[in-house]
Structure 1
């Protein structure tokens, strides 16, 4: 996928931030941190994952669905793939 290669540095930064946030929750659980602080961190992770999803999804849609050289059949297949991923993500 070209867009993930092109945006690799940004995407890796997002993933590493999410990883750090998850590790912070793990430490908080081990230390018996108050639940309100953990809830705030969980909400932050959710926002970070949503941002990552939006960035990858946008790149995918621009590259695959916006490809003028793609056949109508290929576009339909790409659209179905995106819709399937969105359905599972939104569950």
Structure 2
């Protein structure tokens, strides 16, 4: 679990399932993205594609040239749940 201020990030169902088999370089890139999402959450800003004010719990994605991270944000729990990572590196 990664923490940033009051916000926490968890992997669903668990870290081994979501990041299993990912290279150290891939894990470092995911960690960088997660920390950025947490920083923005602390500032009450939205990150990633697919954000919809009408359905804020919808699965969102944020990507770089080598990875896509799929997540959900729950403001009232102060949690980010990472459910899938796709690595292209």
TM over 0.5: no
The structure richer in strand per residue is 2
Instruction: From the CA coordinates, give the structure whose radius of gyration is larger.
Output: 1
The structure richer in helix per residue is 1
TM-score (norm 1): 0.35
TM-score (norm 2): 0.36
